[in-house]
Amino acid sequence: MSSITKAASICSWPQKFYDTIRPMNPVTGSRQFRFIPKGAEIGFGNYFYHGVVQEQGGICRNPVYTEHRDLLQKVTGRLVHHADRKLPYEAILTDTGVENAGCLPGGKIVFCRGLIESMQAETRDFGLGYIPLEDKVAAVMSHEMVHAGARHGARTLEMTLCLSVLIYVASQVAALAFAIFFVHYLRDPIFLGYSRSNELESDRHGMKLMQRAGYDPKAALWVMHLFSTTHPRTGIKWFDQIILYPMDKILSTHPAPDDRIQHAEKTLALLASGKLK
């Protein structure tokens, strides 16, 4: 090895170290500090997977839902080929009427039977025209896959560990009052705000993933309209706007439905114009 090659190799180490601890997020394209490796993400997901599935009614094996299971696998397989980050994505239909879906770190996705039934039974198009059930399922699946691809679960774990260390150090250096104040008054708002940000990020990049896979991203907007119809409202306009809406923006893990719809409409317009790919 020549002296020039050796020098180049030595000079590249700082960049390699920087790329290791603050790599590029393949979904968002931004650099983020990382100290939980990919293998650990997958391990966390595998560890919690069985318990989460059981909490959601266990794996749905009823032959009545064979068509739903097959559709879920078809959509998953199609989206995986276009995902920004390669993970062992896996989707399971669980036997519960709850209208929900979730993703664990590493790519394991739980899709509740109740959600796909609700999407199939809903006859309203919310002004978006006819959208096939497959596209609606793809809207939910792409959103959940982005959670894993963008490391939302892993980043939350990293933040939890960092804040735990900060609280411990503060409690040891005569700043116990600060530690108590933080735990009781600041921790939850920080994590809730972070969670809402992750949801909007998954909405945006999930719609991009849908379009790359050949699905209609309008289906994501349809799903958000569907969720908004089940969102608690009193019907008293001033109360909903002054009380419930601000509470959604501050105390919820998810953005207010109207906010998500507005963000999705903007994303849809960008995708249609070719400004977002």
**Does 67 have pLDDT greater than 80?**
yes
State the pLDDT at residue 164.
Answer: 74
Q: List the beta strands (DSSP E) in 104-181.
A: 108-112
CB 137 within 8 A of CB 117: no
- As given in the structure block, the two tokens for residue 243 are 């009380």
| pTM (two decimals) | 0.83
State the pLDDT at residue 23.
Answer: 85
Residue 94 backbone phi and psi in degrees, to 5: -105, 155
Name every residue whose Cβ is closer than 8 Å to that of residue 202 and which is 6 or more positions away in sequence: 143, 144, 146, 147, 150, 152
Q: What is the pLDDT of residues 70-115, one digit of tens each?
A: 999 999 999 999 999 999 999 999 999 999 999 999 999 999 999 9
State the pLDDT at residue 231.
Answer: 58
For 92, the 3-state DSSP assignment is: strand
- As given in the structure block, the two tokens for residue 39 are 């293998």
Of residues 66 and 178, more confidently modeled: 66
State the pLDDT at residue 32.
Answer: 85
State the pLDDT at residue 192.
Answer: 52
Q: What is the pLDDT of residues 1-54, one digit of tens each?
A: 455 555 445 556 677 777 777 888 889 888 888 888 999 999 999 999 999 999
Q: What is the pLDDT of residues 108-154, one digit of tens each?
A: 999 999 999 999 999 999 999 999 999 999 999 999 999 999 999 88
Q: What residues does each domain of the chain span? A: 23-273
Residue 31 backbone phi and psi in degrees, to 5: -80, 140
